[in-house]
């Protein structure tokens, strides 16, 4: 998690710092549905590299937004899910989805 000193003074900037990348937002969107395994996320997020997905998941886990559960199986199974903090972002993501739908409908009306 970020320390108080590492956080920007502006609350919007803090949010952007935590989830502002395209990939982090799409990972959160997926994890709002259910827990996902790494390769499921990689397949679903067309264009994401393994390194970017790994880095994004690690960063969000460190920030307390997601949880990583390793199941003691052979081979090991790892699932990623939203933490309670991550779940609190649902209204933000839903508002973004609604805005996007409205924007697309508006653009479609200009044809």
| pTM of this structure | 0.85
Beta strands in 1-111 (DSSP E): 36-37, 66-71, 77-82
Please tell me the distance from the alpha carbon of residue 109 to that of residue 55, in angstroms, as a whole number. Answer: 40
Paired tokens of 52? 């970017």
* Spacing of C-alpha 73 from chain mean position: 26
Q: Single out the residue of 94, 104, 77 nearest to residue 28, CA to CA.
A: 94
Q: List, for residues 22-79, the tens digit of each pLDDT value.
A: 899 999 999 999 999 999 999 999 999 999 999 999 999 999 999 999 999 998 899 9
Cα Rg for the chain, rounded, in angstroms? 16
């Amino acid at each position: 998690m970020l320390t108080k000193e590492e956080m920007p003074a502006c609350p919007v900037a803090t949010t952007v710092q935590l989830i502002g990348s395209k990939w982090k937002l799409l990972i959160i969107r997926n994890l709002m549905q259910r827990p996902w395994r790494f390769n499921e996320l990689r397949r679903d997020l067309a264009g994401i590299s393994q390194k970017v997905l790994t880095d994004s998941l690690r960063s969000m886990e460190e920030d307390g937004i997601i949880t990583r559960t390793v199941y003691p199986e052979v081979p090991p199974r790892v699932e990623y899910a939203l933490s309670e903090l991550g779940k609190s972002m649902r209204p933000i993501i839903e508002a973004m989805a609604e805005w996007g739908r409205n924007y697309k409908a508006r653009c479609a009306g200009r044809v």
